[in-house]
Amino acid sequence: MNDSVECPICRMRCNDARHLGAKDVTEYDCPRCGNYSITHQAVLNIENSEMSKQDRAKVAAYLRERTLRGDLRIRILSQQFPDMEFDTPVATISEIIKDHFPRTVSERLDRALKNIHRLSEHLGDGIDLDLEIDGPVLFAEHKDSFDFIADTLQEAGWVKLNPVFGTHGIVLTARGLERIAELERNIVGKESKQAFVAMWFDSSLAKVWEDGFEKSCDAAGGYKALRMDLTEHNQKICDAIIAEIRKSRFVVADFTGHRGGVYFEAGYALGLGIPVIWTCREDELEKTHFDTRQYNHVVWKDEKDLFVKLKRRIEATISA
Ligand SMILES: [Zn+2]
């Protein structure tokens, strides 16, 4: 352990840093960002890019959330290496900022609330958030957003800011706990090992299904990919599909072929709070509906490419 080591993301002094020599990777244990590892090249890129304070804070928040959630230590890469397989979840800085940081204020509030819950040891437990190190707990980029999020959580009735517990003392209220229960109820298949794949049933995609979707779900955490034929669309099958979506840990929605059912199933899953991973074959991306373009699709060329990219996306977005 080197006690003068600085976190390359937030620049805070770390508790611990271990160099994984041969792989050119360092593992950090940062009070602000939690546990992660990063390649030497990624560190150089951060130094050379003059990354903004805001972006650093976004990355710190994602890393801290993973640590609080008990996820596997993620490795930050300088870029995605499509042909390499990794034994850990991997992500680039730009993926974290664009894809993994909450997109909306309400998502930020929900995820901040869950972080507070993870830090609370028992009912009524007051925690003292340290502005210096706990900005990421509230997905705050600076002091103003920290105060804004804390105040908004209180206005929603989910927490009470209580100076008894410290300068930024905060305690979950009964309504906050109800909100958490509601969020967890929505993730019906939280413990599930099923991944629902909404896609076009076409023989041209048979190999893509087998060597792309099925294989990457399995490799990313032993998820069993399930797809249901939409060609015989009738009420009964619809009910069955809905039941299977509800039972799934996440949904992969592939827009190749632009089937109406895929849009329906992705929308249904989103409504339930089930995570959706958007994918599309490269040559078909232009044709996707405008309202799904706001989501960053995993764009793939063939089954091999899909396998690597989808596996990474699952590992980086679906908590263990
Ligand atoms: Zn840090």
Tens of pLDDT, residue by residue over 45-70, are 999 998 999 999 999 999 999 999 99
For residue 318, report the distance from its CA to the centre of ligand 1, in Å: 22
Q: What is the structure's pLDDT at 197?
A: 96
115 is written with which tokens? 């972080």
Tell me the pLDDT of the chain averaged across its residues: 88
Is residue 315's pLDDT more than 60? yes
For residue 151, report the distance from its CA to the centre of ligand 1, in Å: 25
With beta carbons less than 8 A apart as the criterion, state whether 285 and 299 touch.
yes
For residue 15, report the distance from its CA to the centre of ligand 1, in Å: 10
Is residue 126's pLDDT more than 60? yes
283 is written with which tokens? 């040559």
Place of tokens 């800011």: 161
Is residue 236's pLDDT more than 60? no
Is residue 83's pLDDT more than 80? no
Domains and CATH numbers, the chain: 16-100 (no CATH), 105-186 (1.10.10.10), 194-317 (3.40.50.450)
For residue 221, report the distance from its CA to the centre of ligand 1, in Å: 27
The pTM of this model reads: 0.71
**Quick one: pLDDT band at residue 225, thresholds 50, 70, 90?**
very high
CA angle 72-78-79, nearest 5°?
95
For residue 237, report the distance from its CA to the centre of ligand 1, in Å: 49
Q: What is the structure's pLDDT at 318?
A: 86
